Structure 1
């Protein structure tokens, strides 16, 4: 798998891949997606990590690098929208994407990276453990829209 950072021309394929994460999710217009992507790139150190096999986008995750006034001013990273195309799951590709995002976070001086999952399925929880994430914190959220179903 070839791993790289997303560029603006990847948006259409990225939005297609997100269907494997949230099939019922409303797709943004092309203009809205471009506006959001351009705004996202202004977050220094943040990136969308892509994995391709034979020029097909098969896995991705988003890393946001957050400025921080604790830990001596050292930033932390948040991972969101981790997804692997359903036809390519259980091959280690998701772990490779998370490893690439982790390396990018370390290169950007993050002292930690975090992610949340809405899934309570044991295979999903085990995947994150096997990818090197420890379940050492308790997550809370307030939602403006309801969570995905079928988790």
Structure 2
């Protein structure tokens, strides 16, 4: 991907990217309420990172531009019995740094993730986004995502 005449690299995240990734998660109205981007809170993020990183069905991805992490996502590949026993891809934790929003990076990143799903033979790409994120709903609609299902969650706190 190119941005402002220089390359943006999509790569697997490294544990050294974790502070930047947690900062991206915390840098919005909802994330500010639930994320802990402090050194004391990093232990749980590191444990989660290591579990995800070990599992080949999951990928933590970052976009790097000019040596900095400017976007992230988690891409998971899930086998299923429905749809003829096909695989699906789940896109989660999509974040773009505020100063990079509106410049086309997020669009290219999502198209890249959809391409990865095709390469892995998935028949479906799915994602969830909070009902209050109406701008995100419009963003994902441009790719053809539709609100075809009602998602339910049960917090276990």
TM-score band by shorter chain is: 0.7 to 0.9
Deviating above 6 A after TM superposition, structure 1's stretches of 4 or more consecutive aligned residues are: none
**Equivalent of residue 100 in structure 2, options 60, 65, 88:** 88
Question: Does residue 1:14 correspond to 2:24, yes or no?
Answer: no
CA drift at 1:144 = 3.0
Superposition pairs of residues 58-77 of structure 1, within 5 angstroms: 58-77=70-89
Post-superposition CA distance 1:79-133 (Å, at most 9, x none): 1111111111111211222122212222222211111111435422211111331
Contact 2:52 2:60 in 1 (8 A): no
For structure 1, which runs of at least 5 residues remain unmatched after alignment?
A: 146-151
Instruction: Specify the alignment match of 1:148 in structure 2.
Output: none
CA RMSD of aligned residues (A): 2.1
Query: With structure 1 as the length reference, what TM-score do the two structures score?
Result: 0.81
- The TM-score with structure 2 as length reference comes to 0.79
Distance (whole Å) between structure 2 residues aligned to residue 45 and residue 108 of structure 1: 10
1:26 and 2:36 correspond: yes
* Deviation of 1:60 (Å): 1.2
Larger strand proportion, structure 1 or 2? 2
The 5 A counterparts of 1:1-151 are 1-21=8-28, 22-24=31-33, 25-27=35-37, 29-144=41-156
Moved more, 79-88 or 42-51: 42-51
Whole-angstrom distance in 1 between the partners of 2:94 and 2:136? 11
Number of equivalences: 145
Q: Is the 8 Å Cα contact of residues 53 and 60 (structure 2) preserved in structure 1?
A: no
